[in-house]
Structure formats: C-alpha cells, structure tokens
C-alpha cells in the first residue's frame, strides 16, 4: 500500500490532545489528498479536480459526483484545489453510504474516464448562437473559466494571489493553481492527462479518516479498489525550499474599481510580508501563529492600534497575519482603503511598530486570553470536527510533516508556557528573529539567522526576504481584461484551419447532444428511501418563566464543560426611522466598551472569559403563515462553565451601561463594517440577488433586504462616507432603549445536566439585573399576534409553558407584488435570483416544494446552467419562510438564465421525471434534514423559529409520502407564471436588453 494513511479513531488517545474534542456522533469523514504542483497558470489541478469527478471506468456516467448528491445521505461532499494540493473529502452518518461514496471517489480520482476530454481539446467550443454557421465565434464556456473570472473580481483575492506569487516566486507558488482566465484556454488535453498520470498516483496520495466506523473495512476497500492496482513510483512532486533573497522586493499591481468603496480616491491596498519557518516544524509554526494573533488580533494588538486606528485606511490588508498553507509560512500586515500617496506612511508605521514590540513585548493578560481561546477550541464540540481535522493537517502533511504531532495542541501549549517561563522575552526574540534580521540563510529545513548588527545609521536591518506589495484600482481594468480575452479568442480562432473549425464545431454539437441525453445511472451505488429512519429522536427541553416573566429554554446536553447562552429581544417597539441602523448597532454594541471598561478592556475581558459574544438581527417566518413573522435581535455567547458568572456580568454591563461616546472608534468600526460588506459581494452575489428578488413577496422581505441585502451595503457605504458621523452615533442610545432590556425577551441555555442549576441562577441574576422599560412602549406595527410555546411539557412546567408566548407581527394590508431589479456592477459575470411566494413550513405542499427544488436542481438546472451554460453554480431551493428561489452563481449569462428557470418550471409541470428521480431527491433532502446537530445547537429550531420536534416529525412524514402527482400539482400551483407572485434580481455588468426594458429597475 503506497499511499500514506492517517486514521484518528474517536476513542484513541491522540484525539484527547487535539485542537477540538471528538464529536461522538456517527458522522465519519474520509478524504484523499494529492500533492499537486502546477508549473503554469493554466489551472491544470483545478480543471482536473472538476474533470475526475465527471465519470470513471467503473462509473462511466456524466457527473457521478453530482449524481451521488442525490443517491446518498452524505453530510458533506466536495473537492478543493489549494496552491499545492488537491483534496477530495466527504462525510456521512451511514456505514453503507460511506462504502458507496468511497467507491465512487476512489474510482473517480484514480481511474477517471478521459473519453470526454476531447470535447475541450483546445479549451474552447462553439456557443451555438447560430449552430448552422460553422464560422460562429468560439467562446470558452468552461465552468472553471467562469469560476475564475468571478474569483478575479474579488479584489482581496486578487491581492492575495499576487502576494503568494511574488513572495514565493521560484517554484509552484509563482503560478495560479486555480487558473488565470487568460491562461486557462492554453491547457491542452495531453497536458491534463499527463498531469493526472504523474500526480494522481497512490505514491503521491494521502488518505485520512476519522470516526466510529470500522477502520479495517476502509483499509480493505481502499486496497482492493485502488492501491493494489498500482506499482510504487517516485512522484517527484516535492516543493523545494524558496531561494532566500539578499534584499527586500517591491511590486505594484492593479485591480478593478470597487463600486462600494467608502472613498473613490482611497482604494489602494498595501502590505509587507515576511518569510517565516518551514511549516513541518510544528512547534515553531504553533508559536508563530500565536505571535501573529498577538500582533494583529483585536483592538489591543499593536498593529490594530498603529494601522487601523491611524485613520489612513478602512481595514487590514487581505491575508493579514500568519499563513501556513505553503511549505514555508509567512506573515503579512498592511492596510486597504488607503490613498496611494500613503503607501510609504504605512510602511513606516509597520517598521516602527515592530521596533516597539521588540522593545515592549506583550501584556501577560493578552497571552493568557489567547491560550484561553485555545482551551475553548479544545472543548467546543462540532459536527464537522473530522472534516476540520483533515483541512487543518493538509498543508503540513503535504510537505512530509507529522500530522499527529501537529494535532498535539495541549503539549504545545505546555511547551509554550515553559518557554515563556524560562525566557520572558521569548516572543520578543521571535519578532526580532523573523522581522529584524541582518543575514538569513538556510540550514536543512530551517532558517538560520545571524544577529550581528550591521550599523547603518538606523541600526539593525529588516528581514531581507520581505515583500512590499501594493495594489491600486484601474478604471479600465475590466475593459483591458475583456480586450485581452477577445484577443486570445481571435488568436485561437485564427490558428484554426477550416477543417479544425468544422471539427471543433461538430465536437461542440456532440457535447451538447451528450449533455442533453438521459443516462442510465444504474451502475452508481445508491441508498434507498427505506434506509432513512422514519422518526427523529426528540430533544428534551425544559421551559421556565423567571420572576420577571422572561421565558427561558433549558436544554441539558453533553456539552463537554461548556455553557451556551442565547437571548432574543424584540424589535416590535422600535421606531421605523431607526430600523435601518439595527445591523450597525448589532455590529458595534460589543465593541464600544461598557460599564467601567473601555473598548480595549472590554475586548480583553471577552477574550479572557468567553469564547466570543455575537449580536445580529433575527427575522424568522411563522411556521403556519407567510405574512406573520418575528423580528428581533439575537445575542449569542459561549464560555467554559467556570466562567459563566463572568460572561453574564459582561452581558449585564453591555445591556445596562454600553458606551456610545467614542466617535473616533465608532468611525473605525463603521469603515471596517462597510469594507467587509463590499468585499463580500463577489462571493455572496447570488445571496444578495435572492434577498432582493424576495423583497416584495412577504411582509418580512423588506426587512430582510434592509438588514442583509444590497440596501444595507449601500447604507453602510453612505455612513462611512460621512464627514460628521455624530447623527448616526446618536441613534444608537435610542435603539438601546428599545432593545437592551428584559421587555419582550426570551433566553436559552445549553449546558451539561450538572451545570444547569448554576446556569439557571446565573441567567436569573442577569435578567434581574437588566433594566425594564420605565414606560410601556407600544408596538410600532400594531398587529401583534401572541403565539404560545409548543413544547410537550407536563405538570407544573406545563402551567408555566402555557404562559410563554412569542410576539409575532403581521400587516393585514400587505399585498405581494412583482419587482425586477438589476444592480450594475463592474463584474464580467452575473449573479441571478428569481423568487416565488409559496406556502409556510407546516403546509403539506411545503414538503412537495422542498423535494421539487432538489429534483429540479439535480435533473434539469445543473445540466442547463452549469454544464451547458458555463456558470459555476445554479439551482433551486425552498427556504423555511416559504420562498421558492432559483439562483445562479458566477454566470456568463443573465436573461437566458431567467429563461432557463422558466423552462425548469415547465419541465416540472410536465412531469418529466421518474420515480427513481423522486427517490433520489428525497435522499438528498433527508441528508440535509438529518444532518447531525451539535450539543450546543440542540433545541435551537424551537427557540429560534418556534419549530418543535413534533412539527419536524410531521414535516418528515409529509416528505416521505410526496408522490409524482404531488410534485406536478405543486409545480402547476406555484411555479406557473401569473399564478404566484415572483421577483427577479440580477447583479452584474450592463445589459442592453435589460436597459431598454422598462419593467426592470436599474440600480
């Protein structure tokens, strides 16, 4: 067996020393990893990642990977291309499913069917706008091409890519492993096959598993289905050490403009990056990671104080801090949202800050807070723990590091404490070692440093392997990219003979025909609907009313010594003019200081005593009526059980005495929030499109758009642009009066049974200690519906529960209406959303629509939008609030995609699917419905959404009995144009057809 193997059993000794404890539910992950080291930017490992999952020798069907999404109960299936490895992970709770998925993955990666690769031998094919004309222009329609075009609209990602390429320029890191859009078309079929032959071999593979399923079965299957069929080779894929520089380097690059930048003249980014240690030195990288957190983590860090609070920019530069994803780690720090003329100023601040850290060191409390965070991570349980492990060890293991040693976090914490005890300047010396050097050379796998000072006026020189990278926007950036793409197209077309053009055209038609054919998927393994458990396991909840009539839900769970606290406070009395500012209030309320604590002291206390405090808007639809919903703010936190009184005291101070006086700090937080929202659009464009499309379909839709949609992005941009922000700051105390009190509040606690009595006392004390409104506040929207809680409780508890209600609101005058919105963005791809108003969660048709969405995605939309249309992603889904949504992601098309959504509805209404298709859709739906729930999240459906286990069981029974007639009926009832109200939204470039259509609102 030539592949390297790592198996961590949940009962093994090693797991008790990991960064997080084993989660003992049957949710077993498996992964196979290959070291993939491209030497060009054609994206060969990325395209291969997509290709091997598109048919294999044992499973010669198109896209078995996506088809298995509907034939299994997997809790996770995916594939990832990193800068120097490709990872294929999955997880499932079902042993038979594990065996099925492992078989498909093994055959896919080791024995892919390359018969389909000749369809893109030149990386191009006809668009078929005029299929009768063999001279039709060729357009590259590959999914990877459009994925990377979308990726390169994300300026943060563009910056990070350049940083990697320039800091480590001597080998594979000099190239774009995902593929540069202008280089992807150069990849040939022969190159792809050769790369597979040399990199996808067991001698270059690493296998990982974690969980309770018998290890021997995994080993036997992997040996028989893959490893036994190969002979050992020397893959020669190792990444050599980076040649060290004798002097620092600087590079300047360009990017596209940011439509939502808070200042159009301040869109430059700059950072300084330093080469660090080999990542296989696990204690050194552990130390450097901690050091990085101390340098840039939170408002008490020296670089936050020096850079963020300088007012020069909006946020840290991309890829800030420690990066251990390459053979040699690196540290980067800088600013974004600055003026180009301030680049030198930022460089000077960074140099000065490093000198100050070497001189002053770090406060002991900050170090303790960081180690406390690690303790929290080691105790917090996650249902994706095994998957997190495979990701955590991937880079180190990829370069022959010891993954088991890497996971011994407790040992490293002990060793770290010992180093600090023996040498109080241990960390300062590390800063000097890596950031203030005269001479640097390599001995073996480690960097060796010469500390002899070379007096050059200012004293010691900086680390010579240091990169200063700056990036500024170019108004013509996307136009230049488009021109280069067209030139590439012209070059490719002109290089083709008439015979080659005809052949390429015919191959395009052949591909189109292949994509349209129905396939026999009987060769693929599959579970059956009968394999699904008919009933869910109910979670026992206790409900109680405090002396202040605040309802509290208690859920006793094996939380491993952790306590999880949540509270929801209603927005029902908040004046309309304050509502747009609720997300900003949520963002800053835990970061402005409280009581006797400044914002720096507050941050320190939160880090020392909790696993973090979070606050966010909470909007949830009623389970039985689309026009009834709850609006509020959700407060969440977690802590070690010994720190529960301290955590609740922090919440008390935030509720009673929040600080709203520091205007300068408020400005910093506003700019950071606005920058984060703007940076998130390229990754979340389809979500923004869907939120906008559903805006006018329910009473809560407008609020969703206001709090989480493009309206919030635009509002934060306007606030960040204000020269005088006091008018906004003054709104926060007004919001506080309506939110931070015990009126219309409810709480929940998840903890161990032993901890629950003391947790109840701490929560009761918190509630008693916070203010109630001095005067009765009337709801702004007068139509309030009080809905009783629905847990099945008996005895005295039942009497208490009968008094517990959730105050929901409705608008009897609401009428859904259609709206079509096009947000103009300087992107070369589109994000498309179309939403339809349907039925609430408890309606039987909700189950039919749930399965219909999965069926349409797998059997129609995936083929039309991704395979034929070239979009990176697309499909349909039904939300809990009864909104049925279609979407596409990084899509070269827009209006034609909306046409595809209509065709999907027609396809469904005509019943062009089989019983097997329905069963597969049910499997996929149940895989999501039955996804494992961590102890910290048990009972949250009831607390957050008012959905009891009884309701979930009823919905489950509805899902089981959905028939073909139910699906056709649901499609006709809700997806027929004119029968249901719908909304449309597109985020993307200018479109002349949309521009001349008056039914579209262009923003």
Q: Token pair of 226, please?
A: 């893959």
Q: Does the annotation count 494 as an active-site position?
A: no
Helix (H) or strand (E) holding 273: strand 268-278
Catalytic residue selected from 122, 328, 605, 653: 122
Catalytic residue selected from 49, 485, 705, 867: 49
Q: Token pair of 58, please?
A: 């044992």
Residue 597 DSSP label: B
Burial track 427-460 (b if 16+ CB lie within 10 A, e otherwise): bbebbbbbbbbbebeeeebebeeeeeeeeeeeeb
Q: 3-class SS at 28?
A: strand
Residue 239 DSSP label: P
Secondary structure of 896-949 as H, E, C letters: HHHHHHHHHHHHHHCCCCCHHHHHHHHHHHHHHHCCCCCHHHCCHHHHHHCCCH
Q: Where are the beta strands (DSSP E) in 417-488?
A: 439-443, 446-450, 466-473
DSSP code string of 536-581: PPPPP-EEEE-TTS-EEEEEE---TTEEEEEEEEE-TTS-GGGGGG
Helix (H) or strand (E) holding 89: strand 85-92
In contact, 452 and 234? CB cutoff 8 Å: no
Q: Does the annotation count 764 as an active-site position?
A: no
Helix then strand then coil, in percent of the chain rounded to 5, is 45, 20, 35
Q: Token pair of 235, please?
A: 């893959």
> What is the spatial distance between Cα 204 and Cα 258, in angstroms, rounded to a whole number?
42
> What is the spatial distance between Cα 971 and Cα 965, in angstroms, rounded to a whole number?
10
Which of 63, 76, 918, 90 shows the shortest CA–CA distance to 528? 918
Which of 310, 302, 297 shows the shortest CA–CA distance to 358? 302
Q: Token pair of 938, please?
A: 């048990």
338 contact partners, CB below 8 Å, separation of at least 6: 266, 268, 269, 270, 312, 313, 346
Q: What is the CB-side half-sphere exposure of residue 887 using CA atoms within 13 A?
A: 26
In this structure, what are the phi and psi dihedrals at residue 619, rounded to the nearest 5 degrees? -130, 120
C-beta pairs of 792-796 under 8 Å, 24+ apart in sequence: 792/948, 792/950, 793/541, 793/542, 793/543
Active site amino acids: 49, 122
């Amino acid at each position: 067996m030539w592949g390297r193997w790592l198996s961590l059993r949940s009962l093994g000794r090693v797991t008790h020393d990991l960064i997080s404890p084993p989660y003992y539910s049957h949710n077993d992950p498996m992964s196979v990893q290959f070291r993939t080291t491209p030497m060009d930017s054609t994206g060969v490992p990325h395209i291969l990642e997509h290709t091997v999952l598109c048919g294999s020798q044992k499973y010669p069907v198109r896209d078995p990977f996506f088809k298995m999404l509907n034939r299994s109960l997997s809790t996770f299936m995916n594939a990832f291309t990193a800068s120097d490895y490709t990872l294929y992970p999955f997880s499932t709770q079902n042993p038979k499913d594990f065996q099925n998925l492992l078989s498909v993955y093994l055959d896919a990666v080791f024995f892919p069917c390359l018969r389909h690769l000749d369809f893109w031998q030149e990386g191009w094919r006809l668009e078929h706008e005029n299929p009768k004309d063999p001279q039709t222009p060729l357009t590259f329609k590959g999914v990877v091409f459009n994925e990377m075009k979308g990726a390169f609209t994300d300026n943060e990602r563009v910056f990070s890519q350049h940083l990697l390429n320039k800091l480590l320029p001597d080998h594979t890191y000099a190239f774009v492993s995902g593929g540069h859009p202008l280089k992807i078309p150069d990849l040939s079929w022969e190159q792809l096959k050769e790369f597979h032959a040399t990199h996808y071999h067991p001698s270059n593979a690493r296998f990982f598993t974690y969980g309770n399923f018998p290890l021997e079965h995994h080993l036997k299957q992997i040996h028989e289905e893959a490893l036994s069929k190969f002979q050992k080779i020397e893959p020669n894929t190792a990444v050599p050490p980076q040649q060290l520089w004798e002097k620092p380097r600087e590079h300047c690059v360009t990017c596209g403009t940011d439509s939502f930048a808070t200042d159009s003249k301040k869109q430059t980014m700059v950072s300084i990056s330093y080469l660090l240690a080999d990542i296989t030195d696990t204690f050194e990288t552990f130390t450097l990671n901690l050091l990085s957190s101390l340098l840039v983590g939170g408002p008490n860090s020296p670089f936050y104080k020096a850079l963020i609070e300088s007012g020069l920019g909006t946020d840290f530069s991309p890829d800030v801090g420690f990066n251990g994803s390459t053979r040699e780690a690196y540290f980067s720090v800088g600013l974004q949202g600055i003026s180009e003329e301030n680049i030198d100023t930022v460089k000077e601040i960074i140099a000065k800050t490093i000198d100050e850290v070497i001189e002053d060191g770090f406060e002991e409390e900050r170090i303790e807070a960081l180690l406390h965070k690690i303790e929290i991570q080691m105790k917090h349980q996650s249902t994706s723990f095994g998957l997190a492990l495979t990701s955590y060890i991937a880079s180190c293991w990829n370069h022959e590091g010891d993954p088991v040693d890497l996971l011994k976090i407790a040992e490293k914490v002990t060793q770290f404490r010992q180093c600090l005890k023996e040498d109080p300047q241990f960390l300062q010396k590390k800063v000097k070692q890596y950031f203030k050097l005269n001479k640097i050379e390599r001995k073996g796998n480690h960097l060796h440093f010469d500390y002899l000072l070379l007096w050059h006026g200012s004293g010691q020189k900086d680390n010579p392997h240091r990169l200063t990278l700056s990036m500024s926007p170019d108004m013509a950036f996307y136009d230049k990219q488009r021109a280069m793409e067209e030139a590439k197209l012209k070059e490719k077309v002109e290089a083709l003979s008439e015979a080659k053009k005809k052949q390429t055209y015919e191959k395009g038609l052949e591909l189109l025909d292949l994509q349209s054919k129905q396939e026999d998927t009987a060769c693929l393994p599959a579970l059956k609907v009968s394999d699904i458990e008919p009933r869910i396991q109910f979670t026992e909840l206790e409900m109680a009313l405090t002396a202040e009539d605040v309802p509290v839900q208690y859920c006793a769970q094996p939380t491993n010594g952790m306590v999880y606290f949540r509270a929801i406070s209603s927005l029902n009395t908040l004046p309309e003019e304050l509502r747009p500012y609720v997300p900003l209030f949520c963002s800053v309320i835990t970061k402005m200081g409280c009581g006797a604590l400044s914002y720096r002291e507050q941050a320190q206390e939160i880090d020392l005593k909790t696993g973090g405090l979070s606050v966010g808007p909470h909007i949830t639809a009623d389970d039985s009526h689309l026009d009834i919903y709850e609006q509020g703010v959700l407060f969440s936190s977690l802590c070690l059980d010994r720190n529960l009184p301290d955590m609740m005291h922090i919440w008390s101070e935030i509720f009673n005495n929040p600080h709203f006086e520091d205007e300068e700090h408020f400005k910093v937080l506003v700019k950071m929030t606005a920058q984060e929202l703007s940076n998130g659009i390229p990754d979340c464009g389809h979500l923004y499109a869907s939120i906008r499309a559903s805006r006018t379909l329910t009473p809560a839709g407008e609020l969703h758009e206001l709090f989480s949609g493009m309206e919030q992005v635009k509002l934060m941009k306007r606030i960040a642009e204000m020269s005088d922000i006091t008018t906004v700051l003054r709104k926060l105390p007004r919001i506080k009066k309506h939110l931070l009190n015990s009126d219309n509040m409810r709480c929940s606690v998840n903890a161990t049974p032993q901890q629950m009595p003391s947790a109840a006392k701490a929560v009761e004390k918190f509630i008693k200690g916070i203010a109630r409104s001095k005067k009765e506040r009337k709801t702004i929207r007068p139509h309030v519906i009080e809905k009783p809680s629905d847990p099945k409780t008996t005895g005295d508890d039942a009497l208490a529960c009968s008094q517990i209600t959730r105050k929901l609101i409705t608008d009897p005058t609401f009428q859904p209406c259609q709206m079509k919105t096009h947000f103009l963005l300087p992107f070369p791809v589109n994000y498309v959303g179309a939403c339809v108003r349907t039925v609430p969660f408890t309606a039987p048709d909700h189950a039919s629509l749930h399965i219909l969405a999965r069926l349409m995605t797998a059997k129609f939309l995936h083929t039309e939008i991704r395979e034929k249309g070239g979009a990176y992603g697309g499909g349909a889904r039904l939300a809990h609030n009864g909104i049925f949504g279609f979407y596409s992601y990084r899509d070269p098309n827009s209006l034609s995609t909306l046409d595809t959504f209509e065709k999907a509805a027609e396809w469904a209404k005509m019943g062009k699917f089989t019983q097997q298709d329905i069963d597969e859709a049910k499997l996929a739906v149940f895989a999501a419905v039955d996804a494992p729930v961590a102890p910290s999240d048990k009972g949250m459906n009831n607390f957050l959404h008012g959905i009891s286990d009884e309701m979930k069981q009823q919905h489950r029974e509805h899902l089981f009995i959905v028939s073909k007639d139910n699906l056709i009926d649901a499609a006709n009832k809700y997806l027929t144009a004119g029968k249901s109200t719908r909304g449309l939204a597109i985020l993307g470039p200018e479109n002349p057809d949309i521009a001349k259509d008056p039914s579209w609102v262009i923003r």
